[in-house]
Structure 1
Amino acid sequence: MDNFNWNNTFPDTPKSFKNKVSATLNSLPDQKENYEMRNMKSFKKRIMIGLVAAMVIGTTVFAAGKVVFINSHGSNIPNYTAIPTVEQVKKDLGFNPKLVKEFDNEYAFKGGYTIDNEVAYENENSVEKTKSLSFAYTKGKDEIMLYMENGKLGEESEEETVVDTHNGIDLYYYSYANKSVPASYKMTEQDKQDELSGKYVFSYGSDKEKISEVQGLNWMQDGIYYSFLAVDSDLSQGELVKMAKQIIDAK
Structure 2
Amino acid sequence: MDRKLNENIDEKIIDCLNKKSDGISAPENMFFKIRAGILEEEDRGVLFNMKIKFLKAKTMIVAGLLCIATTVTCVAATNGLNWISSSSRANEINKFPTEDVVKKTVGYCPKYVDEFSNGFKFESFNFSDSSLENDNGNSVLKTKDANFSYKKEGARKDQSLFFEATPINEEYFNKDSEDKKDITEYNGIKIYYNNFKYKAVPVDYVESEEESKLIQEGTLQIGFGADKISESNTQFVKWYEDGIEYSIMNMAYDDVDKDQMIEMAKTVINK
Range of TM-score over shorter length: 0.7 to 0.9
1:100 CA drift (Å): 0.4
Per the alignment, residue 63 of structure 1 pairs with 77
Q: Deviations over 1:185-219 (max 9, x none)?
A: 3524xx23222145732233545433221111111
Q: Deviations over 1:163-203 (max 9, x none)?
A: 41111001111111111234x43524xx2322214573223
1:236 and 2:257 aligned:
yes
8 Å CA contact 2:73–2:85 kept in 1: the answer is yes
Q: Deviations over 1:142-165 (max 9, x none)?
A: 441111111154622465333411
1:74 and 2:87 aligned:
yes
Tell me the distance in 1 between the aligned counterparts of 2:126 and 2:56: 18
Per the alignment, residue 199 of structure 2 pairs with 179
Per the alignment, residue 166 of structure 2 pairs with 149
Instruction: Assess, with a 3 A threshold, how the Cα gap between structure 1 residues 47 and 243 changes in structure 2: closer, same or farther.
Output: farther
Point out the more displaced range, 83-92 or 205-214: 205-214
Tell me the distance in 2 between the aligned counterparts of 1:146 and 1:46: 21
1:20 and 2:31 aligned:
yes
8 Å CA contact 2:56–2:78 kept in 1: the answer is no
Q: Deviations over 1:48-99 (max 9, x none)?
A: 997xx899652112322142x2322212456221121222212211122102
Number of aligned residue pairs: give it: 227
TM-score (normalizing by structure 2) = 0.69
Per the alignment, residue 227 of structure 1 pairs with 247
Gaps of 5+ in 1: 11-15, 33-41
Instruction: Assess, with a 3 A threshold, how the Cα gap between structure 1 residues 129 and 157 changes in structure 2: closer, same or farther.
Output: closer
Q: Which amino acid aligns with 2:31?
A: K
Q: Deviations over 1:103-160 (max 9, x none)?
A: 2223111111211223313567446432112111112134411111111546224653
Tell me the distance in 1 between the aligned counterparts of 2:138 and 2:236: 33
The alignment partner of 2:88 has SS state of coil
Point out the more displaced range, 194-203 or 88-97: 194-203
Per the alignment, residue 120 of structure 1 pairs with 133
Tell me the distance in 2 between the aligned counterparts of 1:7 and 1:181: 23
Gaps of 5+ in 2: 1-16, 49-53
- RMSD over aligned Cα, in angstroms? 3.6
8 Å CA contact 1:23–1:57 kept in 2: the answer is no
Bigger CA radius of gyration:
2
8 Å CA contact 2:95–2:124 kept in 1: the answer is yes
Sequence identity percentage: 26
Higher relative contact order (CA 8 A, sep 6+): 1
The correspondence for 1:99, drawn from 101, 112, 122, is: 112
The alignment partner of 1:148 has SS state of strand
8 Å CA contact 2:205–2:224 kept in 1: the answer is no
TM-score (normalizing by structure 1) = 0.74
